[in-house]
Amino acid sequence: MDPIRLDALVATAADILDGASAQFIAGHRADSAVRKKGNDFATEIDLAIERQVVAALREQTGIGVHGEEFGGEPIDSELVWVLDPIDGTFNYAAGSPMAAILLGLLHNGAPVAGLTWLPFMGQRYTALEGGPVRDNGVALPALDTPTLADSIVGIQTFNIDSRGRFPGRYRAAVLANLSRECSRVRMHGATGVDLAYVASGILGAAISFGHHIWDHAAGVALVRAAGGIVTDLFGAPWTAESKSALAAAPGVHQRMLEIIAAAGSPEDHL
């Protein structure tokens, strides 16, 4: 994409997310509105923010949007915004500040820009393809090459008895192996927050057992712009079709792959 156009699109999107931040903050501890699969839910604020941001993006950028709550434009479109109005909805509803607005821009399915807003933390991460990552407009340094032992690693929460693509016992085995080398593990309960924190150097790595594009598009763009590496859990480059994600600083990623591989196949833990 033309870098000048991309920069203009991100500037417009940043203004739109700023406009949604007051409503995001005001709705903290919002009640459940829509019951989703399993014990997942969306709040009234999720729905309202998605409607507001989608309408503004379409009007001001002329680009369609694929949102978590209402769907929309196909993600394989030439250009499409991908929106998660509240990443970390359980945190948000419970009163935790670990919640964010995620907005990524895909060009033919690949993330070329990412915006991650953490309104309660006062953090506004943006990046274009090629970097740098900016927090509140200030350019952050490219990622260093730390060791895993000196890193904090983010990992998703899970139920030990869950089954599916990545059973709970497989996830527990990964966590057990990781704990032997890195005792600094954090469960923030928000995939997009984890990815933004990898991009900014707060976390050395983050593991996502999920596949939803709205959880990953913005963060993958941020991590890659920072010089980090994003693959699936088995080492294949992350794409919009990936069923998992491993994002890490260059000095940590390969060791993380080895630790994950030591847990064996997910099917072995059913």
This model's pTM is above 0.75: yes
Residue 104 near residue 114 (C-beta atoms within 8 A): yes
- pLDDT value at 21 more than 80: yes
Owning domain of residue 262: 148-268
Judgement on whether residues 65 and 100 belong to the same structural domain of the protein: yes
**In the structure, what pLDDT confidence band is assigned to residue 102 with cuts at 50, 70 and 90?**
very high
* Parallel, antiparallel or unpaired: strands 65-67 and 79-87: parallel
Is-contact 190 100, C-beta < 8 A? yes
pLDDT tens digits for range 27-56 = 887 665 555 555 454 678 888 999 999 999
Q: Which of 107, 45, 118 is nearest to 82 (CA)?
A: 107
Both 129 and 200 in a single domain?
no
Are 101 and 167 in a shared domain? no
Across 65-75, b (16+ Cβ under 10 Å) vs e yields bbbbbeebbeb
51-84 residue pLDDT tens = 999 999 999 999 999 999 899 999 999 999 999 9
Whether 112 and 175 map to the same domain: the answer is no
- Domain edge (last residue) among 139, 171, 192: 139
Provide the CATH number for the domain around residue 115.
3.30.540.10
Mean pLDDT of 145-157: 95
Residue 233 CA from chain centroid, whole number: 15
- Ligand-binding site membership of 268 (annotated): no
* Residue-by-residue DSSP string for 211-251: --HHHHHHHHHHHHHTT-EEE-TTSPBP-TT-S-EEEE-HH
From residue 262, give the alpha-carbon distance in Å to each of 159, 174, 258, 265.
21, 8, 6, 9
Question: Annotation-wise, does 46 bind a ligand?
Answer: no
Q: Look at residues 107, 139, 171 and tell me which one is the last residue of a structural domain.
A: 139
The total number of residues shown for the chain amounts to 270
Statement to judge: residues 9 and 121 lie in one domain = yes
Q: Is 213 annotated as ligand-binding? A: no
Shared-domain flag, residues 100 and 216: no
Contact 196, 222 (CB under 8 A): yes
Do 116 and 184 lie in one domain? The reply is no
Residues 240 and 258 grouped into a single domain? yes
Shared-domain flag, residues 89 and 162 = no
Instruction: Label residue 156 by pLDDT band (50, 70, 90).
Output: very high
pLDDT averaged over every residue in the chain: 94
Domain final residue pick, 110, 139, 168: 139
Q: What is the mean pLDDT of residues 156-172?
A: 95
- Domains in the chain, number: 2
pLDDT per position as a tens digit, 171-200: 999 999 999 999 899 999 999 999 999 999
pLDDT at residue number 36: 52
CB 39 within 8 A of CB 89: no
> What tokens were used for 267?
């099917």
Contacts 24+ apart (CB under 8 A), 183-187: 184/151, 184/152, 184/153, 185/152, 185/153, 185/154, 185/155, 186/152, 186/153, 186/154, 186/155, 187/154, 187/155, 187/156, 187/157
Q: Is 31 annotated as a binding residue?
A: no
pLDDT given for residue 39 in this prediction: 46
- C-alpha–C-alpha distance, residues 268 and 87, integer Å: 31
Same-domain status, 196 and 99? no
What is the C-alpha to C-alpha distance for residues 79 and 38, in angstroms, rounded to an integer? 32
- State yes or no: 161 annotated in a binding site: no
Which tokens sit at 51?
Answer: 């409607």
Q: Which CATH number goes with the domain that contains 257?
A: 3.40.190.80
Average pLDDT for residues 120-134, to the nearest whole number?
97
User: What's the CA gap between 67 and 141, in Å, rounded?
Assistant: 31
Residues 132 and 164 in one domain: no
Residues 104 and 179 in one domain: no
The pLDDT > 90 percentage for the chain reads 87
